Amino acid sequence: MTDEQVVSATAQSAARTDTFPRLLRVVSLGVGPLVAALVLGGLVLLLMGFNPLSYYAYVVQRAIFSPSGLEATLTRMGPLLLIAASLIVAFRAGIWNLGGDGQYLLAAVFVAAIVPLMLGILPVWTNLLLGLFIGAAVGAIWGLLPAILKAWQGLNEIITTLMMSFLGVSLANVLVKLAFLDPATTTPQTRTLPVEARLPRLFDTSVSSGLIIGLVAVIAVHLIMTRTSFGMRLRLVGANPRAAIHAGLSVPTLTIAVFAISAALAGLSGAVDILGTHGNVRADWNPAYSLTVVPLVFLARLNGFGSIAYVFLFSALTIGGESAARRIGVPSFFSLVIVAILLITLGLAEYLDKRHQERARR
Amino acid sequence: MQALDQAPAALAATPSGAPVVALRGVTKRFPGVVANDDVTIEIRSGEVHVLLGENGAGKSTLVGMLSGLQQPDEGRIEIDGKVCVVASPKQALAMGMGTVFQHSMLVPSLTVTDNFALGGPWWKRPDRAGIAAGIRDTARRLGLRVDPQALVSSLSLGERQQVEILRALMRGSRCLILDEATAMLTPHEAVALGELMRRLVAQGIAVIFITHKLNEAIAYGDRISVLRLGRKVGEIDPDALRGASESENIERIIALMFGTSEKGESVRRVQVSRRLGDVVLTVEGLCCDAGRVPVRDISFSVRSGEILGIAGIDGNGQKELAEVLAGQLPRGSGSILLMGSEMGGASVGERRNRGLRYVTDDRLGEGTVGTFPVATNFLLKDIGADPFWRGGIERPQEIRLQAERHVRDFDIRTPGTQTPVGKLSGGNIQKVLLARELTGAAEAVIFAKPTYGLDVNNIRTTRKRIREAADSGKAVVLISTDLDELLELADRIAVMDRGRLRGIVGNDDDARDAIGRLMSAGDDE
């Protein structure tokens, strides 16, 4: 070999060793923690006296490979994706809207109370559109107080949104039990929306079109945050509020806008869940989607597409977990255990990766 | 105060001792760079050994190796003549090497005493009274005043540094490494630190003082080693240093640092007279109480092509004045006229659109977003503007092209336009700001401490940019705490003190004296 050949050969091998570990890194960072979480979760199952392999097999079979299970999984994704969109807007703009549960539930209650009353007066599709609008509006109104306090008083929105969330959940319950009670039933719940007046189903399946609304919302939010000047302004406020002031942005106005969008999306999620799946709200019902989705969007690093993947995974875990609870006896909350372990393994993987990189730099 | 007076005498009497620490032929490589190349340096007790060099000359890597954070690839470190491996910061401390880093390593929410107690065995209750007594004792010995019960957050940056030096000494350091110790200090605090260094060496401590400021090196150093691109390019021993005049020393060091003699530029007043145009910016009776220091009754006007310098000790309302002018702080009363029209009520963005630019001194705090790419940081003040956005949609091609143009025109050293700006050196971040503020249709530019914390080379390019801005007909307001910078660049110099302008003098031969008189006149009130 001549010198030149040697040089090019070493350069090639250097390039190969360079790209190969990079691929390996992406794979190990993306899949490794998931596998580790499932293994650790399996250990927990073993300790509880269940066979982890048969549990996982059952969950996957019921949630993904059985047609009805997959349809339930996809339907559940709709409201979860809207919540994810709500959180991505807020978190990317540096605002911790943790009040999604109250915004969701109040919106759900108002939608469930008003939409059945309008049946027969308006055509079904205007009724549905109006229902979605009511949901978004109620959510946004419930986010207004924390928004104002944050924008002009600098009050910590973590505390105010959480407080408003507790209040919202309680108020929703009170409304169901006192004001919006269905007189035709004995259990405290709102009037039930007939199945034919709900959001249309997709094709021949039982998947609600809420899934489409959710997918559109989360992708739109992703594109707005990454590709538009409005999104750039929000990200600037989120990354460095002082730089935003220096750059001449009106931080209070943007804060209000972020709250309005985020809370409206949470409210929309409630509307979609009622109009698409439940049809009514029973007293003391609170799925607490918002706080459950918080770890998911962080696992996806506030990326819209990543969030879709994580929401699908979580949705499958809960749907499969719910039937496993009936069949095998593993509590349905086990899916939350998996998410919690996943957070830890992902954090660990990131820590190890950072240390590895630092070591390589030395 | 007695100790202070005796310090120089004690120094003259103390002969330079044997090397406490020596680096012999040390080489340290990082992927793609040789940070230190065959460096040999001896640190003697009773000497302030200055390591002088530009950003990136390899000073920090040397500190890293001496403090046990990094290991040399080649060469050896000797302590008291014996070859040692400094494997960890803990070990470095045990060997008597104390390091005070540029950024405070104290816990702000704890008292001084509790900070000293950190690192003790966890199962023992810290002997707070003993530690406090030790602090008072050591502080007295060095002529410092430190309150052991004070919360660290209540101390100024200079006081925090003194506390860190005390801590290093109380842990038995014989060799004290001060890494860019004066970079964050006010000029007054820097002088105090210089005096403290003299007292430390008078007591037989070896001090390694890392800086990129020539005047500090000459004022406080006994021995100066100059680093350039990782190599040690020269050393000036104490005899040579004391034997020569200040200007001879400066010339020699500049020759070492840049490989050329830059005599022409070190002479003050290179400022050439420009033809001044019409009045661009007029400020009348401006007051503002919204900032930390209230601004009172400021009046001045700047013409096209003119540089108005604003001198004064840092923290006398200069920052507030700049922010009121830029619109970041609300004006209390008074008027701000740009090209004859009032803009006191306009927002930050409107003022920028009308041609007012503000180059902030807080480059990472508000000037840029460290995690955003360089290309994005060029546009922080023009979000949504044509041609970079069309109908609110980003156009990556245009943004990239502009970024590449700026990087080329302003000679910004960055791996790419998508590199997070926080990864660049201070000088290059400043160039990003200059590129953003000086392009486009600007009428008036406010520079706040534009060369603060930069190395000699970047100071020179920044000053050139300021001069060019004025040459091209812009009205320039130059706020600086560096009098020499103002004397070099400004046409007229105003003195600011406790929120007021004490007077404006023309930059002629007795400007320095006149400014001095104005500053001291303010003190009499």
Please give the ipTM for the structure prediction.
Answer: 0.78
Q: Which residue of A has its CA nearest to B366?
A: A243
Task: Write down the domain spans for chain A.
Answer: 77-309
Residues A228, B392: C-beta atoms closer than 8 Å: yes
Are B210 and B254 in the same domain? yes
Scanning A238-267 for CB atoms below 8 A from B yields 239-240, 242-243, 245-250
Q: Is B448 left (phi over 0), alpha (psi -120 to 50) or beta?
A: beta
Q: Which of A247, A360, A362 sits opposite B380 (nearest CB)?
A: A247
Distance, CA of B309 to CA of B292 (rounded, Å)? 22
A141: CB partners within 8 A, 6+ apart: A263
Got the DSSP string for B184-204? TS-HHHHHHHHHHHHHHHHTT
pLDDT for the residue A43: 93
At B93, list the tokens. Answer: 């401390």
* For chain B, percent of residues with pLDDT exceeding 90: 25
pLDDT of residue B18: 67
Question: What was the pLDDT predicted at A18?
Answer: 55
Same domain membership, residue B229 and residue B127: no
Residues B169 and B181 both lie in one domain: no
Residue A21 C-alpha, separation from nearest chain B C-alpha, in angstroms: 17
Burial of B432 (0-12, 13-18, 19+ CB in 10 A): buried
- Cα–Cα–Cα angle for A241, A245, A250, rounded to 5 degrees: 100
pLDDT band at B31 (very low <50, low <70, confident <90, very high): low
* C-beta atoms of A239 and B369 within 8 A: yes
Q: List, run by run, the mean pLDDT of 10-residue segments along chain A (362 residues).
A: 43 49 71 87 90 89 90 93 96 93 95 89 89 96 94 92 95 91 85 85 84 95 94 93 92 94 96 91 89 88 90 90 85 85 86 79 60
Does residue B186 form part of some domain? yes
Tell whether the torsion through CA atoms of B435, B436, B442 and B446 is positive or negative: negative
Q: Check pLDDT > 80 for residue B516.
A: no
Residues paired with B98 in a beta bridge: B176
Q: Do B328 and A239 touch (CB under 8 A)?
A: no
- Per-residue confidence (pLDDT) for residue B272, from 0 to 100: 58
- Model pLDDT for residues B482-505, shown as the tens digit of each residue: 778 888 899 999 988 888 898 898
| C-alpha to C-alpha distance for B456 and B212, rounded to whole angstroms | 7
Question: β-strands B295-303, B307-311: how paired?
Answer: unpaired
Average pLDDT over residues B20-25: 90
pLDDT at A95: 92
Report CB contact under 8 Å: A242, B376: no
Q: Which of A229, A236, A243 sits opposite B394 (nearest CB)?
A: A229
How close are the terminal C-alpha atoms of chain B, in Å? Answer: 27
Number of domains observed in the structure of chain B:
4
Q: Which of B207, B200, B18, B184 is nearest to B99 (CA)?
A: B207
pTM for the model stands at 0.71
Residue of B nearest to A223 (CA): B393
Does the distance separating the beta carbons of B368 and A233 come in below 8 Å? no
Q: How many CB atoms lie within 10 A of CB B110?
A: 15
Per-residue pLDDT, B260: 46
Domain boundary, last residue among B204, B239, B262: B262
Residue B17 has a pLDDT of 55
- With bands split at pLDDT 50, 70 and 90, how would you rate the model's confidence at B12? very low
pLDDT score at A33? 85
Helix (H), strand (E) at residue B444: strand B444-448
Residue with tokens 């979860």: A80
Q: Domain check: are B449 and B417 in the same one?
A: no
Residue B355 with chain A: CB contacts under 8 Å: none
The residue from B173, B199, B230 where one domain ends is: B173
Range of the domain at B429: 368-440
**Closest CA in chain B for residue A235:** B372
| pLDDT tens for each residue of B171-214 | 888 899 998 887 777 778 888 888 889 988 888 889 999 887 77
Look up residue A325 and give its two tokens: 């609870």
In terms of CA atoms, which chain B residue is nearest residue A226? B394
Question: Using CA atoms, how far apart are residues A81 and A220, in angstroms rounded to an integer?
Answer: 12
In a domain, B115, yes or no: yes
> So what's the pLDDT on residue B300?
94
Range with the largest mean pLDDT of A252-266, A335-349, B109-123, B455-469: A252-266
| Of the partner residues B360, B368, B394, the one whose CB lies closest to the CB of residue A228 | B394
How far, in Å, CA of A295 to CA of A41, rounded?
Answer: 17
Among all residues of chain A, which has the CA nearest to that of B376? A232
What pLDDT, on a 0 to 100 scale, did the predictor assign at position A100?
A: 93
Residue B480 domain flag: yes
Same domain (yes/no): B294, B398: no
Residue B55 lies in a domain: yes
B243 and B387 within one domain: no
CATH number assigned to the domain comprising residue B297 = 3.40.50.300
pLDDT value at residue A267: 96
Q: Strand pairing of B97-100 and B175-179? A: parallel
- Asked if A250 lies within 8 A of B365 by C-beta distance, the reply is no
Residue B421 identity (one-letter amino acid): V
Q: How far is CA A274 from the centre of its chain?
A: 17
Chain A nearest CA to B19, separation (Å): 28
The pairing of beta strand B295-303 with beta strand B223-228: unpaired
Distance CA A57, CA A44 (A): 16
**Which residues, other chains included, contact B413 with Cβ-Cβ below 8 Å and sequence gap of 6+?**
B424, B425, B428
CB distance B359 to B433 below 8 Å: yes
Domain finish residue from B126, B147, B173: B173
Rounded average pLDDT over B100-117: 85
For residue B323, give the chain A residue with the closest CA: A246
Domain membership flag for residue B267: no
- In this structure, are B219 and B310 located in the same domain? no
**Gyration radius from chain A CA atoms:** 23
Residue type at B456 in one-letter notation: V
CA-based angle B467:B470:B473, to the nearest 5? 150
Question: Does one domain contain both B219 and B186?
Answer: yes
- Across the range B289-313, mean pLDDT stands at 89
Contacts of A250 in chain B (CB under 8 A): 347
Q: With an 8 Å Cβ cutoff, are A239 and B371 in contact?
A: yes
Any domain includes B268? no
Does B180 share its domain with B167? no
CB contact under 8 A, A236 and B383: yes
Same domain, B152 and B192: no
**Nearest-CB residue to A248 (from B348, B362, B369):** B348
pLDDT band of residue B262 (cuts 50, 70, 90) is very low
The string of DSSP codes covering B364-428 is IIII--TTSBHHHHTTGGGTT-TTTEETTEE-HHHHHHHHHHHHHHTT---S-TTSBGGGS-HHH
Please check whether residues B163 and B298 belong to one and the same domain: no
Burial B286-310 (b: 16+ CB within 10 A, else e): bebeebebebbebebebbbbbbbbb
Contacts of B369 in chain A (CB under 8 A): 236, 239-240, 243
The phi and psi torsions of B290 (rounded to 5 degrees) equal -80, -25
Query: Which residues of B lie closer than 8 Å to A, measured between beta carbons?
Result: 30-31, 70, 326-328, 347-352, 358, 360, 362, 365-372, 376, 380-381, 383-384, 389, 392-394
